[in-house]
A and B are shown apart, each in its own frame.
Chain A
Amino acid sequence: MKVAAKVTRPADAGERENWDDSGSGGMAHPVTEGELDLSHGVILYLDDITVSFDGFRALNKLTLSIDVGELRCVIGPNGAGKTTMMDVITGKTRPDSGTAFFGQTMDLTKLAEAEIAHAGIGRKFQKPTIFEHHTVFENLELAMKTDKRVRRSLFARLRSEDYDRIAQTLTTIRLEHEADREAGLLSHGQKQWLEIGMLLMQEPRLLLLDEPVAGMTDDETERTAELFVSLAGQHSLMVVEHDMAFVEALGGKVTVLHEGSVLAEGDLASVQADPRVIEVYLGR
Chain B
Amino acid sequence: MTRITTDARTVALTRKSRLLLMGGLALAWGVVPLLALVLPAGNPLHLSDYALTLTGKILCYATVAVALDLIWGYAGILSLGHGLFFALGGYAFGMYLMRSIGRDGNYQSDLPDFMVFLDWKELPWFWHGTDSFVWSMLLVLLVPAALAWVFGFFAFRSRIKGVYFSIITQALTYAAMLLFFRNETGFGGNNGFTDFKRVLGFPITAPETRVVLFGLSATLLMGAIVLGRVLITSKFGRVLMATRDAESRVMFLGYQPLYYKLTVWTLSAMLCALAGALYVPQVGIINPSEMSPANSIEIAIWVAVGGRGTLIGPVFGAAIVNLAKSWFTMSFPEYWLFFLGLMFILVTLWLPDGVVGLWRKLRAGRAARRAAADTAAATVAPPAPTTPAPAPAAGGGDKSAAPGVSGAIAKGA
Q: A: which residues have CB within 8 A of B? A: 114, 117-118, 129-135, 137-138, 141-143, 148-150, 153-157, 163, 166-167, 170, 176-182, 184-185, 198, 202
Q: What are the residues of chain A within 8 A of B10 when measuring CB–CB?
A: 157
What are 30 A-to-B residue pairs whose CB atoms are below 8 Å? Answer: A114-B251, A117-B252, A117-B254, A118-B254, A132-B245, A133-B241, A134-B242, A135-B409, A137-B4, A137-B6, A141-B235, A142-B239, A142-B250, A148-B255, A149-B259, A150-B259, A150-B260, A155-B234, A163-B4, A166-B4, A170-B4, A176-B1, A178-B389, A180-B6, A180-B408, A181-B396, A181-B409, A182-B393, A182-B409, A202-B254
Per-position 1/0 for B229-254, Cβ under 8 A of A: 00100111011011001100111111
Q: How far is the CA of A177 from the CA of B234 in the complex (A)?
A: 23
Q: A134-B241, A135-B405, A154-B236 are in contact. Are A180 and B246 (CB under 8 A)?
A: no
Q: How far is the CA of A153 from the CA of B232 in the complex (A)?
A: 11
In the complex, whether B412 has a CB less than 8 A from a CB of chain A is yes
**B242 to A180, Cβ gap below 8 A?**
no
Most chain A beta-carbon contacts within 10 A, residue among B234, B235, B249, B387: B235
Distance in Å from the Cβ of A43 to the closest Cβ of chain B? 21
**A180 to B235, Cβ gap below 8 A?**
no
**B263 to A179, Cβ gap below 8 A?**
no
In the complex, whether B17 has a CB less than 8 A from a CB of chain A is no
Q: A133-B403, A180-B409 are in contact. Are A153 and B236 (CB under 8 A)?
A: yes
Q: How far is the CA of A150 from the CA of B264 in the complex (A)?
A: 10
Most chain B beta-carbon contacts within 10 A, residue among A129, A135, A179: A135
Q: How far is the CA of A95 from the CA of B411 in the complex (A)?
A: 52
B231's nearest neighbour on chain A, judged by CB, is A154
**A131 to B4, Cβ gap below 8 A?**
no
**B4 to A179, Cβ gap below 8 A?**
yes
Lowest 8 A-B CB distances belong to which pairs?
A180-B412, A156-B235, A153-B236, A179-B4, A182-B396, A153-B235, A154-B236, A131-B242
Per-position 1/0 for B117-159, Cβ under 8 A of A: 0000000000000000000000000000000000000000000
Q: What are the residues of chain A within 8 A of B235 when measuring CB–CB?
A: 141-142, 153-154, 156
Q: What are the residues of chain B within 8 A of A157 when measuring CB–CB?
A: 10
**A177 to B253, Cβ gap below 8 A?**
no
**B253 to A181, Cβ gap below 8 A?**
no
Number of A-B contacts (CB under 8 A): 110
Q: How far is the CA of A198 from the CA of B252 in the complex (A)?
A: 11
Q: What are the residues of chain B within 8 A of A149 when measuring CB–CB?
A: 256, 259
**B234 to A154, Cβ gap below 8 A?**
yes
| Interface residues contributed by chain B, number (CB under 8 Å) | 42
Most chain B beta-carbon contacts within 10 A, residue among A131, A163, A166, A170: A131
Most chain A beta-carbon contacts within 10 A, residue among B1, B236, B249, B253: B253
B259's nearest neighbour on chain A, judged by CB, is A150
Q: Which residues, 195 to 246 on B, are CB-close (under 8 Å) to A?
A: 231, 234-236, 238-239, 241-242, 245-246
Q: How far is the CA of A155 from the CA of B399 in the complex (A)?
A: 27
Q: A176-B3, A185-B393 are in contact. List 4 more A-B contacts (CB 8 A).
A: A130-B249, A170-B4, A181-B389, A181-B412
**A131 to B255, Cβ gap below 8 A?**
no
Q: B: which residues have CB within 8 A of A? A: 1, 3-4, 6, 9-10, 231, 234-236, 238-239, 241-242, 245-246, 249-256, 259-260, 263, 387, 389, 392-393, 396-397, 399-400, 403, 405, 408-409, 411-413
**A167 to B259, Cβ gap below 8 A?**
no
Q: What are the residues of chain B within 8 A of A170 when measuring CB–CB?
A: 4
Q: A179-B3, A181-B412 are in contact. Are A150 and B263 (CB under 8 A)?
A: yes
Q: How far is the CA of A141 from the CA of B396 in the complex (A)?
A: 20
Q: What are the residues of chain B within 8 A of A176 when measuring CB–CB?
A: 1, 3
**A133 to B260, Cβ gap below 8 A?**
no
B261's nearest neighbour on chain A, judged by CB, is A150
Q: What are the residues of chain A within 8 A of B256 when measuring CB–CB?
A: 148-149
Q: A137-B4, A182-B396, A182-B400 are in contact. Are A153 and B234 (CB under 8 A)?
A: yes
Distance in Å from the Cβ of A138 to the closest Cβ of chain B? 6
B400's nearest neighbour on chain A, judged by CB, is A182
Q: How far is the CA of A163 from the CA of B1 in the complex (A)?
A: 9
**B239 to A184, Cβ gap below 8 A?**
no
Q: What are the residues of chain B within 8 A of A155 when measuring CB–CB?
A: 234
**A142 to B253, Cβ gap below 8 A?**
yes
**B249 to A131, Cβ gap below 8 A?**
yes
**A181 to B254, Cβ gap below 8 A?**
no
B393's nearest neighbour on chain A, judged by CB, is A181
**B234 to A141, Cβ gap below 8 A?**
no
> Among the listed B1, B249, B255, B413, which residue makes an inter-chain contact with A167, where contact means beta carbons less than 8 Å apart?
B1
Q: How far is the CA of A137 from the CA of B250 in the complex (A)?
A: 16
Q: How far is the CA of A141 from the CA of B239 in the complex (A)?
A: 10
Distance in Å from the Cβ of B400 to the closest Cβ of chain A? 5
**B3 to A177, Cβ gap below 8 A?**
yes
**B3 to A148, Cβ gap below 8 A?**
no
**B392 to A142, Cβ gap below 8 A?**
no
**A142 to B242, Cβ gap below 8 A?**
yes
Distance in Å from the Cβ of A272 to the closest Cβ of chain B? 36
> Among the listed B9, B234, B259, B403, which residue makes an inter-chain contact with A156, where contact means beta carbons less than 8 Å apart?
B234
**A153 to B239, Cβ gap below 8 A?**
yes
Q: How far is the CA of A143 from the CA of B249 in the complex (A)?
A: 10
B258's nearest neighbour on chain A, judged by CB, is A150
Q: What are the residues of chain B within 8 A of A167 when measuring CB–CB?
A: 1, 4
Q: What are the residues of chain A within 8 A of B412 when measuring CB–CB?
A: 179-181
Q: How far is the CA of A176 from the CA of B4 in the complex (A)?
A: 8
Distance in Å from the Cβ of B234 to the closest Cβ of chain A? 6
Distance in Å from the Cβ of B305 to the closest Cβ of chain A? 22
Distance in Å from the Cβ of B149 to the closest Cβ of chain A? 13
Distance in Å from the Cβ of B156 to the closest Cβ of chain A? 13
Q: A153-B239, A156-B234, A179-B4 are in contact. Are A133 and B409 (CB under 8 A)?
A: no
Distance in Å from the Cβ of A122 to the closest Cβ of chain B? 9
> Among the listed A130, A163, A177, A184, which residue makes an inter-chain contact with B396, where contact means beta carbons less than 8 Å apart?
A184
**A114 to B396, Cβ gap below 8 A?**
no
Q: What are the residues of chain A within 8 A of B253 when measuring CB–CB?
A: 142-143, 148, 198, 202
Q: What are the residues of chain A within 8 A of B392 when measuring CB–CB?
A: 185
Q: How far is the CA of A131 from the CA of B237 in the complex (A)?
A: 13
